[in-house]
Chains A and B, each alone.
Chain A
Amino acid sequence: AQTVTQSQPEMSVQEAETVTLSCTYDTSESDYYLFWYKQPPSRQMILVIRQEAYKQQNATENRFSVNFQKAAKSFSLKISDSQLGDAAMYFCAYRTPEAGSYQLTFGKGTKLSVIP
């Protein structure tokens, strides 16, 4: 079974600074997807960024980028130029490429605070 571990229950960052959230996972699969989701106080899960395991290039979405190390099974999220609106719970998630399935395995989350 796949597992996802987020070792930082809480993190804080100064506004406009950069922060990195860590995630490691365990799987015997060679093909899979990895995600970072943001959950603000509104509770709705919002997809921040996704990475396909077969792609060596790290995914980037505006101020959000990942450092995907497949051999080390590591998938960290870097937030640049942090903004107050980035404050939220962040969840790392894993998904197999089974056709039609969006069944996700989540980590326990990291609570990010942004200091003005």
Chain B
Amino acid sequence: EAGVTQSPTHLIKTRGQQATLRCSPISGHTSVYWYQQALGLGLQFLLWYDEGEERNRGNFPPRFSGRQFPNYSSELNVNALELEDSALYLCASSPRTVNTEAFFGQGTRLTVV
């Protein structure tokens, strides 16, 4: 069974541009979570999507947004990129039940220059 897949693996953008990151969850998983892992800061929760709806967001500005498609895949969009947006962005997916675990992808390394 395929795991969580993220694309692209690496992304280099210029300050002020927009970045789009993609995540395909494990088959049967309806929830997708996005985390930002900046150097030295651990993982910070960004967004949670379930059944096509945004369920919760972390303490990030509105230029971080996303969506979930009918097939449960998800996009994370970062507008007006700033240098401090450089980070590893990790996606995780889980089924919508309590007593399960989420599975992580290998992340997209975003570098803003």
Whether A and B are associated in the same complex: the answer reads yes
Binding site for B on A (CB under 8 A): 42-47, 50, 91, 93, 97-109
Q: Is the CB of A100 within 8 A of B56?
A: no
Cβ contact of A102, chosen from B44, B101, B105, B106, cutoff 8 A: B101
Report, as a range, how many residues of chain B touch the other chain: 20 to 34
Q: Is the CB of B45 within 8 A of A44?
A: no
Q: Is the CB of B92 within 8 A of A102?
A: yes
Cβ contact of B48, chosen from A45, A50, A101, A106, cutoff 8 A: A101
Main secondary structure of the interface of A (DSSP, over half): loop
Chain B positions 50-69 with a Cβ under 8 Å from a chain A Cβ = 50, 55-56
Q: Give every chain A residue within 8 A of B50 (Cβ-Cβ).
A: 100
What's the least CB distance linking A51 to chain B, in Å? Answer: 13
- With A50-B101, A108-B42 as contacts: A101 and B56 at CB distance below 8 Å: yes
What's the least CB distance linking A53 to chain B, in Å? Answer: 13
Q: Is the CB of B105 within 8 A of A44?
A: yes
Q: Give every chain B residue within 8 A of A44 (Cβ-Cβ).
A: 104-107
Q: How far is the CA of A42 from the CA of B52 in the complex (A)?
A: 30
Q: How far is the CA of A100 from the CA of B56 in the complex (A)?
A: 12
Extra contacts, 14 of them, besides A102-B100, A106-B43, A107-B42 (Cβ < 8 A), are: A42-B106, A44-B105, A45-B90, A91-B42, A99-B96, A101-B56, A102-B31, A102-B92, A102-B94, A102-B101, A104-B35, A104-B43, A105-B45, A106-B35
Q: Is the CB of B56 within 8 A of A103?
A: yes
Q: Is the CB of B42 within 8 A of A106?
A: yes
Q: Is the CB of A102 within 8 A of B102?
A: yes
Asked whether B40 is an interface residue with its Cβ less than 8 Å from the other chain, the reply is yes
Cβ contact of B101, chosen from A43, A47, A98, cutoff 8 A: A47
Whose C-beta in chain A lies nearest to the C-beta of B43? A106
Q: Is the CB of A103 within 8 A of B45?
A: yes
